[in-house]
């Protein structure tokens, strides 16, 4: 299974009570369909917010039109998360695609990070990522200041103003966070050199571990197939096996980590619906057992 | 020459149908069966195959293997540990008798986990002759291998006399290696179809005009030294048995007469098959080639073989 965990929504979607026009949603749906054509099984729509995350940020998700051959992880009527089992994360029907919700918080102050860490609103998202805007926030994120996040995302096309250090990034990896590499910056010739420089630095300090490759694009035309992404890793001296993991096994592990964050108690206990617990007429089966995992 | 190549079948089956007593007794134990599921790709999903030796090979992703609960071994590819597992079930073994617990365990797990229908291509062949036999499965569609042929005259081809001017097992120098690479690159172009060679020929006005009609970008030119040759190409695509290919190779070799013409045999394995040559493990990184080409020259009783396996293939 191939994963693209960053299909960007427009900027307006990241505002509280934000809205998107029908043309913008049509463009998003077209991008999702293109991802399915290219062989991706799971994609995540990324809502980039700045400031604190509030329940008003969730309202945009109920405005998405119905989409055929797509399994959404939330209800379009209520906006609530419907994904209940970890196995469902990577189980996709044939000729279908699973669509997840992701939030990326731009962090310039520590308060912003706390609003996406473990709140009821952030738990409605399938993936929570932070994008530190300065070195101090990167160190805070890597050090585990905000425990309930899944991924650290850095803008590969921008000049950072700091160096990615082994110690800092190593801390993030030891806490199980993934580091995101978006190839969108490589598509633009004006940012390509910066993208290569930043990506090579991340690859060097991580040694290729726990990297998740994503598109970060809005338009269907900018999407690339998983095999093209695998070849792109050569440009930053990452071998094809490690690059391919970034669109497959590492991304799957990230989703399991995210589910563990929301669907389990301390990663030890998960309660799932036991179909044997109900009789055919809907009455509870007294002989049902609670499954411990 | 192609008379012994017969049909194969496309059918939707549940994996538990492949281990049913009727299937094992009626087909696996009496003939050579080759099967491959074609629903999913080997690097993204679960692929099942029967390798012709009566072994059911399941190449399973992590989630499926952990839920299935059958004993398998960690796959070599991908390189990440525990990302993929291979389960092999010997359908001819005594333990696959339906009264045995081993069989019942496998059957119950298949029915519980691998319970959806998968589309298979299946071939059944005589063990000795490789001839295609009938397969009586409800819903099976008979498919005939597709045959294409073309003939070409006065086409440039790399000069090959030096290719066979070497003893088997002798050390090959760089020049010979370059020549062999040129020859097999030409063979690849020839097997792609006549339009490739038309655009590369440029040997006469007629051919150049034909190339212009084809509108093919000329990115390949036949290296020097080169000669003009004529040849015929026959392409057979579909599910073929090893016995049928072996018989084809023998017929191409003719009666062993030194005056017989040169022959080239190219064989491609399926890129999503979990097994490769000699039952090696096979997977797909950015390509899944597992092919070989044999260039035979009866006049000097020699054969040069070019083998290509992708990086994720233990045969390479």
- CA-nearest residue to A41 within chain B is B44
Q: What is the mean pLDDT of residues B11-30?
A: 94
- pTM for the model: 0.84
Q: How crowded is residue A93: how many other Cβ atoms within 10 Å of its Cβ?
A: 11
> What pLDDT shows up at residue B302?
84
Structure tokens at B60: 């399973």
Which residue from A147, A151, A125, A141 is spatially nearest to A57, judged by alpha carbons?
Answer: A125
- Cβ neighbors of B246 (< 8 A, separation 6 or more) are B130
List pLDDT tens digits, range A155-211: 999 888 787 888 888 999 998 899 999 999 999 999 999 999 999 999 999 999 999
Among A238-247, B152-161, B194-203, the range with the most confident prediction by mean pLDDT is A238-247
Tell me which of B198 and A100 has the higher pLDDT: A100
Looking up tokens 């934000």, which residue turns up?
Answer: A18
Inter-chain contact A87–B67, Cβ cutoff 8 Å?
yes
| CA distances, A239 to each of A207, B18, B307 (Å) | 10, 39, 24
Nearest C-alpha of chain B: how many angstroms from A212?
A: 15
Q: Kindly determine whether residue B63 and residue A91, on different chains, have CB atoms separated by under 8 Å.
A: yes
Percent of chain B with pLDDT over 90: 35
CB A220 within 8 A of CB A183: no
Contact flag A1-B39 (C-beta cutoff 8 Å): no
Would the CB atoms of B45 and A1 count as touching at under 8 Å? yes
Residues of B in contact with A252 (CB under 8 A): 62
The pLDDT value given to residue A275: 55
Q: Which of B62, B78, B286 sits opposite A245 (nearest CB)?
A: B78
pLDDT of the residue at B205: 44
Q: A267: left (phi > 0), else alpha (psi -120 to 50), else beta? A: left
Q: Give the C-alpha separation, B55 to B40, whole Å.
A: 20
With contact defined as beta carbons under 8 Å apart, do A48 and A12 qualify?
no
Residues of B in contact with A41 (CB under 8 A): 44
Predicted pLDDT of residue B309? 85
Of A1, A231, A245, the CB nearest to B44: A1
Spatial distance between the Cα atoms of A243 and A173, rounded to a whole number of angstroms = 17
CA distance A15 to chain B (A): 36
For the record, the structure tokens of B200 come out as 């590369």
Measured CA to CA, the distance from residue A25 to residue A86 in angstroms comes to 28
B→A interface, C-beta within 8 Å: 39, 41, 43-45, 61-63, 67, 78-80, 83, 285-286, 311
Instruction: Report the residue from A90, A91, A240 with minimal CB separation from B286.
Output: A240
What is the model's pLDDT at position B217?
53
Among the partner-chain residues B45, B67, B79, the one whose CB lies closest to the CB of A241 is: B79
**B286·A227 Cβ contact <8 A:** yes
pLDDT digits (tens, 9 = 90+) for A218-238: 999 999 999 999 999 999 999
* Spatial contact of B120 and B57, defined as CB atoms under 8 Å apart: no
pLDDT digits (tens, 9 = 90+) for A237-263: 999 999 999 999 999 999 988 888 877
Distance CA A126, CA A71 (A): 13
**Cβ–Cβ under 8 Å, residues A99 and A123:** no
């Amino acid at each position: 299974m191939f994963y693209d965990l960053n299909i960007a929504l427009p900027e307006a979607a990241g505002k509280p009570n934000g809205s998107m026009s029908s043309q913008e949603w049509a463009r998003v749906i077209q991008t999702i369909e293109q991802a399915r054509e290219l062989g991706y099984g799971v994609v995540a729509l990324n809502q980039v917010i700045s400031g604190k995350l509030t329940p008003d940020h969730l309202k945009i998700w109920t405005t998405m039109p119905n989409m055929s051959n797509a399994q959404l992880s939330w209800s379009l009527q209520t906006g609530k998360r419907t994904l209940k089992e970890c196995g469902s994360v990577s189980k996709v029907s044939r000729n279908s695609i699973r669509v997840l919700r992701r939030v990326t918080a731009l962090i310039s102050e520590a308060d912003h990070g706390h609003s996406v860490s473990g709140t009821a609103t952030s738990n409605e998202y399938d993936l929570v990522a932070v994008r530190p805007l300065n070195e101090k926030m990167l160190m805070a994120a890597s050090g585990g200041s905000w425990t309930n996040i899944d991924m650290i995302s850095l803008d590969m096309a921008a000049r950072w103003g700091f160096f990615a250090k082994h110690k800092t990034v190593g801390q993030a990896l030891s806490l199980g966070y993934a580091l995101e590499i978006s190839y969108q910056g490589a598509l633009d010739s004006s940012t390509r050199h910066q993208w290569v420089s930043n990506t090579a630095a991340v690859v060097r300090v991580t040694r290729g571990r726990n990297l998740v490759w994503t598109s970060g694009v809005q338009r269907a035309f900018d999407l690339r197939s998983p095999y093209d992404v695998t070849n792109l890793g050569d440009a930053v001296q990452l071998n094809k096996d490690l690059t391919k993991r970034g669109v497959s096994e590492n991304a799957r592990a990230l989703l399991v980590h995210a589910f563990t964050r929301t669907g389990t108690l301390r990663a030890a206990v998960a309660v799932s619906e036991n179909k044997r617990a109900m009789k055919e007429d809907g009455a509870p089966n007294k002989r049902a057992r609670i499954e411990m995992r | 020459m192609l008379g012994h190549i017969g049909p194969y079948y496309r059918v939707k089956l549940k994996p538990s149908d492949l281990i049913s007593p009727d299937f094992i007794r009626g087909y696996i134990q009496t003939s050579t069966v080759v099967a491959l599921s074609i629903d999913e790709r080997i690097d993204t999903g679960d692929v099942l195959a029967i390798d012709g030796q009566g072994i059911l090979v399941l190449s399973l992703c992590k989630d499926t293997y952990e839920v299935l609960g059958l004993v398998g071994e960690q796959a070599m590819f991908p390189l990440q540990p525990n990302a993929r597992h291979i389960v092999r079930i010997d359908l001819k073994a005594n333990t696959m008798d339906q009264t045995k617990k081993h069989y019942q365990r496998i059957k119950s797990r298949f029915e519980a986990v691998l319970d959806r229908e998968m589309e298979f291509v299946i071939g059944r062949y005589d063990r000795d002759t490789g001839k295609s036999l009938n397969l009586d499965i409800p819903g099976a569609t008979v498919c005939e291998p597709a045959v294409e042929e073309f003939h070409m005259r006065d086409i440039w081809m790399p000069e090959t006399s030096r290719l066979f001017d070497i003893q088997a097992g002798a050390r090959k120098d760089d020049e010979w290696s370059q020549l062999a690479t040129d020859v097999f690159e030409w063979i690849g172009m020839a097997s792609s179809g006549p339009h490739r060679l038309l655009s590369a020929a440029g040997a006469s006005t007629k051919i150049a005009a034909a190339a212009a009609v084809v509108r093919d970008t000329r990115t390949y030119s036949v290296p020097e030294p080169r000669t003009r040759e004529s040849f015929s190409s026959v392409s057979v695509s579909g599910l073929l048995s090893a016995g049928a290919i072996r018989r084809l190779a023998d017929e191409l070799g003719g009666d062993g007469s030194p005056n017989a013409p040169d022959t080239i045999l190219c064989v491609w394995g399926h890129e999503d098959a979990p097994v490769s040559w000699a039952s090696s493990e096979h997977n797909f990184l950015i390509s899944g080639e597992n092919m070989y080409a044999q260039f035979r020259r009866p006049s000097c009783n020699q054969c040069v073989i070019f083998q290509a396996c992708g990086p994720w293939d233990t045969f390479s």
